[in-house]
Structure 1
């Protein structure tokens, strides 16, 4: 399972970054040909279910996810959300941690392990590189002031 990890710094305060990064519908808007379908009533918390549906017309695949850890940032305490991917095509997990930055603003750390079914380990470096590029771009757009 390829692992992805990167850190992004933003001038946004941790609470604002948290609100932007846990607005799951906005995630879908940042990924090409993707929309997010929220399957549980607000507010978001442990047990929230949503699906990122990617594709065109009848050629689509779903990436269903469940929030299994929900700890918003509070004052100097970091925030952490953990998602489990329950899909047929994509499995694994993702975490987004938000902590106060050393000079104001905050740091966002994105960690993810994913497996694309049907692709063996020789494809792990390609899957990781593509996912890292896609998620970094989405994260930067979600945090854009």
Structure 2
């Protein structure tokens, strides 16, 4: 599996940073060729063009929003046919009243051998780093 970590410190209150990184449809606006829908239990990210694509089905296994100045954490377990692994989004207090956002992900593509983990890790860090930047700038 290809595990990567992305961290950002932003001038936002914890609850606003949390709102921005867990507003699932917005993820579809910042990840190319992707549409995201969600309910209380699952997040569905379909990536593709026309009929060619795949579904990244993620089950929300931890949902612990920030409260009373303490951080929050969300864990998604990937349950799709193609994309496997997990993702965690964490928001915690940072320096100077800012929010520290941590995106941790371990991803594997079912039909891709482990030989490609380095490429997958670099691509994930780049793609989701840009997505996180855009999510956190969202007004």
Instruction: Please report the TM-score for the alignment, with normalisation by the length of structure 1.
Output: 0.91
* CA drift at 1:86: 0.4
**Structure 1 stretches lacking a partner, 5+ long:** none
* CA drift at 1:130: 0.4
Aligned match for 1:134, one of 124, 127, 132: 127
Distance 2:42 2:87 in 1: 14
Distance 1:28 1:55 in 2: 11
Q: Does the CA contact (< 8 Å) of 2:65 and 2:73 recur in 1?
A: yes
RMSD (Å), alpha carbons: 1.0
* CA drift at 1:37: 2.1
Match of 2:115 in 1: 122
Q: Is 1:103 aligned to residue 64 of structure 2? A: no
Aligned match for 1:55, one of 48, 60, 65: 48
- How many residue pairs were aligned? 138
Match of 1:85 in 2: 78
Match of 1:2 in 2: 2
Distance 1:133 1:75 in 2: 33
* CA drift at 1:75: 2.4
Q: Does the CA contact (< 8 Å) of 2:88 and 2:103 recur in 1?
A: yes
Instruction: Please report the TM-score for the alignment, with normalisation by the length of structure 2.
Output: 0.95
Match of 1:34 in 2: 34
SS at match of 1:16: helix
